């Protein structure tokens, strides 16, 4: 059952994050953007296949000139959309995106401006804070997304204080292991668990922590559902299998996606999801979020509980903000 589409609009990025291997900086001018016509065709098809959640990602998704039209198109299809941005280009598209993105996340890697900019490889700390305020002024409900690493986990209390001052929810996003990155160590996991417990306005999927405690995905008894619940589409109009991070095959979308999903190659990847050698120990959040969507095991139960708490907190903050804007308008 397909739940999520990770749609890579471009691999280009205007930041150089220390922990990220997504952005293409070596062939910047040659790295393509997803064609709008392909995007509309593909999103229309996957909506009919049952996909409800569309993550517009990259690279930096706001580098795509058609981002507003893309989000609008998805919203008209009743799809839930998410965008994570470094904030640099948000003012350019803010008004056009207003009211159309369900989950708008601004990446903040440290409460300290110098450290954040160093991690990002570009001066964008101010852009994040001003972008958050701009989003709020437009009636948006953005989140701060903190990708926590073994070097930054002790900054969690201060970045949480910043989120509280801004009246926002802080999403704690544990860095995952891939391309030689070991992921979070036990000291970091202990610190995060102890700090988050009992606090409001902060979200972490507890299943992520449990998965890491258990050594990640185990190919002998896999928990990953990357091929069956997620569809990954590249800027080159390809379906990437089994996932973007460890892609071993790309299938050009030159026929209806429904046909591709019934092909022998898709059946092969579905039958072996989480069982490839490179799947051992995997903790890539993008695929375990939908893998834990149903409470069929301890991960599913933990994930469901965490997401319920996040949704409840988000609803409370949205009601407060709407009330604030209504009173401000009346006065």
pLDDT value for 153:
96
Residue 86, preceding bond cis, omega within 30 degrees?
Answer: no
CB 24 within 8 A of CB 9: no
pLDDT value for 239:
98
Question: Checking phi first, is residue 162 left (phi over 0); if not, alpha (psi -120 to 50) or beta?
Answer: alpha
Q: Pull the structure tokens for residue 329.
A: 């308008």
Classified by CATH at the fold level, domain 4-330 comes out as TIM Barrel (3.20.20)
Within its chain, how far is the Cα of 293 from the centroid? 15
Within its chain, how far is the Cα of 193 from the centroid? 21
In the chain (331 residues long), the average pLDDT of successive 10-residue segments reads 95 76 58 94 97 95 97 97 97 97 96 94 95 95 95 96 96 78 86 95 95 94 96 97 90 98 96 94 91 91 93 81 60 59
Which residues of the chain form beta strands (DSSP E)?
4-8, 53-57, 80-85, 103-107, 143-148, 169-174, 202-203, 230-233, 238-241, 249-252
- Alpha-carbon distance 290 to 303, whole Å? 10
Condensed to tens digits (0 to 9), the pLDDT of residues 225-271 reads: 999 999 999 999 999 999 988 888 999 999 999 999 999 999 999 99
Q: What is the CA radius of gyration of the chain?
A: 19
Contacts of 87 (CB under 8 A, 6+ apart): 106, 107, 124, 127, 128, 130, 131, 132
pTM score, whole prediction: 0.93
pLDDT value for 180:
52
Q: Pull the structure tokens for residue 216.
A: 């990640």
CB 256 within 8 A of CB 42: no
pLDDT value for 93:
98
Q: Pull the structure tokens for residue 197.
A: 């417990």
Residue-range domain boundaries for the chain: 4-330
- Sign of the C-alpha dihedral, residues 205, 210, 213, 215? negative
- Alpha-carbon distance 194 to 179, whole Å? 29
Condensed to tens digits (0 to 9), the pLDDT of residues 33-82 reads: 999 999 999 999 999 999 999 999 988 999 999 999 999 999 999 999 99
Q: Provide the mean pLDDT of the chain.
A: 91
CB 277 within 8 A of CB 235: no
pLDDT value for 29:
62
Q: Pull the structure tokens for residue 201.
A: 């306005």
Nearest partner of 273 among 216, 221, 224, judged by Cα: 224
Contacts of 259 (CB under 8 A, 6+ apart): none
- Alpha-carbon distance 174 to 283, whole Å? 9
The total of other beta-carbon atoms located within 10 Å of residue 36's CB is: 14
């Amino acid at each position: 059952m397909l739940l999520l589409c990770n749609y890579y609009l471009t691999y280009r990025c205007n930041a150089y994050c220390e922990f990220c291997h997504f952005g293409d900086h070596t062939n910047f001018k040659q790295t393509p953007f997803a064609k709008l016509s392909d995007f509309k065709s593909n999103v229309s098809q996957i909506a009919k296949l049952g996909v409800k959640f569309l993550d517009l990602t990259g690279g930096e998704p706001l580098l795509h000139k058609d981002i507003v039209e893309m989000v609008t198109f998805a919203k008209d299809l009743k799809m839930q959309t998410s965008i994570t941005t470094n904030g640099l280009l948000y003012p350019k598209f803010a008004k056009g995106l207003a009211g159309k993105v369900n989950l708008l996340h601004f990446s903040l890697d440290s409460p300290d401006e110098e450290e954040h900019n160093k991690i990002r490889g570009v001066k964008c700390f101010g852009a994040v804070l001003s972008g958050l305020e701009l989003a709020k002024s437009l009636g948006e409900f953005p989140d701060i997304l903190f990708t926590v690493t073994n070097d930054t986990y002790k900054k969690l209390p201060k970045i949480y204080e910043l989120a509280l001052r801004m009246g926002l929810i802080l999403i704690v996003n544990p860095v995952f292991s891939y391309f030689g990155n070991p992921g979070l160590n036990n000291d970091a996991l202990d610190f995060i668990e102890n700090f988050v417990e009992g606090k409001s306005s902060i979200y972490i999927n507890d299943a992520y922590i449990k998965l890491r405690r258990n050594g990640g995905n185990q190919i002998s008894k896999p928990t990953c559902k990357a091929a069956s619940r997620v569809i990954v589409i590249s800027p080159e109009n390809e379906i990437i299998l089994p996932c973007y991070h460890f892609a071993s095959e790309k299938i050009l979308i030159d026929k209806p996606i429904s046909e591709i999903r019934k092909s022998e190659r898709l059946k092969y990847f579905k039958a072996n999801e989480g069982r490839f050698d490179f799947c051992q120990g995997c903790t890539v959040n993008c695929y375990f979020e939908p893998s834990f969507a149903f409470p069929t095991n301890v991960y599913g139960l933990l994930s469901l509980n965490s997401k319920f708490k996040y949704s409840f907190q988000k609803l409370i903050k949205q009601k407060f903000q709407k009330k604030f804007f209504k009173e401000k308008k009346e006065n």
